[in-house]
Amino acid sequence: MADETQKRFHEGLARFDRGRVAEAIELLESCHAAEPGNPHFALNLGHALGAAGDAGRASKLYRALMDAEEPGMPFAACWSLADLKGYRFSNDEIQRMQAWASANDDQEQRYLLMFALGHALEQKGDYEQAFDAFRQANRQVAQQRPYPGEAWSRLAKSIEGIGNVPGHRGTDGPLPVFVVGMPRSGSTLLEQIIGAHSRAEAIGEVPFIDNMARSLDRQGGFASTLPRLQPQQCAAGAAGYREQARAMLRGKPDRIVDKWPDNFWYLGLVYAMFPDAPVINILRDPLDNALAVYKQFFSRGNEFSSDLEWAAHYWETYLDVVQHWESLFPGKLLHLRYRDLVRDPEGASRRVLQHCGLEFEPGVLEFHRRAGTVMTPSGQQVRRPIYASALGSANPYRPYLDEILPRFEHITERANRMAGD
């Protein structure tokens, strides 16, 4: 019986990773019912429920796990509560986390506790202590997962050396819409708005382009291989992409919304396969964005988030790369400010939909009423109407950022020029 439960558990995790959340919930609920005292069953069931929008049931499971005896599990529970975004910690819970933080300064997963404590203190308006908690969390994560800045710089330099990109006449089928930018910049919000259109469907964060780019990289380097692609190879790549996307679709849309923010690295490949593909680059205030990723624990990738100097470097390479692709494909990219999207949702949505070849529908602004599974840190936030409270979110932390502020001021000037200021 125990072996059978473990099999269902691992199958539940696999289906969750593939975005089949309803199926994952059914499997994980059966595991939790069979062994209610197993903290791993409860934790992962909470994650699946959160992705499906059931924050109430998820938070109930997480709060119970704060009493778990397994080392590290209470810390994972605290972070999971914070990652629901809408959860507000009680004073008792904050005091409990502070006591744990004082007594466990060398525990392996202490960073999860410190990320959660940072968010809890931020809710109380104690920004100095919150920033210290985030700093402790990121220091530990940075030691475990250093930022490969030199590798990103080399990739950016090689991309800037690309002088031409092949293409083909295009193929029949639904046209992908690519949403790119920095993580935590509003890309999930934008994806949900476009995906709410009657002729569009969002497929979430899918690494189709990333996997293709890595394949080219293994053939002699992405920047060296891309210009040598033949038209038939570009057409075959487009057909393979659509085949993968169709397996994820529920309907038969005219537009497929692909929101993989890191696709900005590979826009040359995107245009080689889909010469008419709409691409929207969403730009959030760089300092707001840097603080947002600094406060977010990423289980994989986004290593730059653990240090604000690293975040500044990644921002600079991002702007360099997007600027180069734009020089090769003038007029193809739509740059959209996050602030414009939240201050004037209808006006921004009209611009975006026009870029996508879609007519405006009022229902796109009601996306939150139909949000299904969302597998990103913004999962709970996009289940609410559009709000502007995240604008200027870095401002309370400015007193602790003196050393990095000049660099981000320069980055902000560059981002504003890109957006049309």
- Domain map of the chain by residue range? 1-65, 150-359+387-419
What pLDDT score does 380 carry?
47
- pLDDT tens per residue, range 25-84: 999 999 999 999 999 999 999 999 999 989 999 999 999 999 999 999 999 999 999 999
Q: Are strands 255-259 and 200-202 parallel, antiparallel or unpaired?
A: parallel
What pLDDT score does 376 carry?
52
What pLDDT score does 372 carry?
54
What pLDDT score does 373 carry?
55
What pLDDT score does 421 carry?
74
**Residue listed under structure tokens 């709409």:** 278
What pLDDT score does 271 carry?
96
Q: DSSP assignment of 265-318, as one string?
A: GGHHHHHHH-TT--EEEEE--HHHHHHHHHTS--SSS-GGGG-HHHHHHHHHHH
Amino acid 355 reads H
Q: 49, exposed or middle or buried, with CB in 10 Å at 0-12, 13-18, 19+? A: buried
Asked if 1-65 and 150-359+387-419 have one fold, the answer is: no
CA distance 306 to 134: 9
Q: What are phi and psi of 259, to 5 degrees?
A: -110, 85
Find out if CATH 3.30.470.20 is the number for domain 1-65: no
Residue spans of the chain under pLDDT 50: 378-381
Fold of 150-359+387-419: Rossmann fold (3.40.50)
What pLDDT score does 379 carry?
46
pTM above 0.85, yes or no: yes
> Taking Cα atoms as reference points, which of 163, 181, 111, 117 lies closest to residue 140?
111
Torsion of CA 311, 202, 21, 378, to 10 degrees: 30
CA distance 57 to 270: 40
What pLDDT score does 228 carry?
96
Residue 181: enclosing H or E segment and its boundaries?
strand 175-181
CA distance 14 to 34: 19
**In what order do the strands lie in the sheet containing 200-202?**
200-202, 255-259, 175-181, 279-283, 333-337
- pLDDT tens per residue, range 69-96: 999 999 999 999 999 988 999 999 999 9
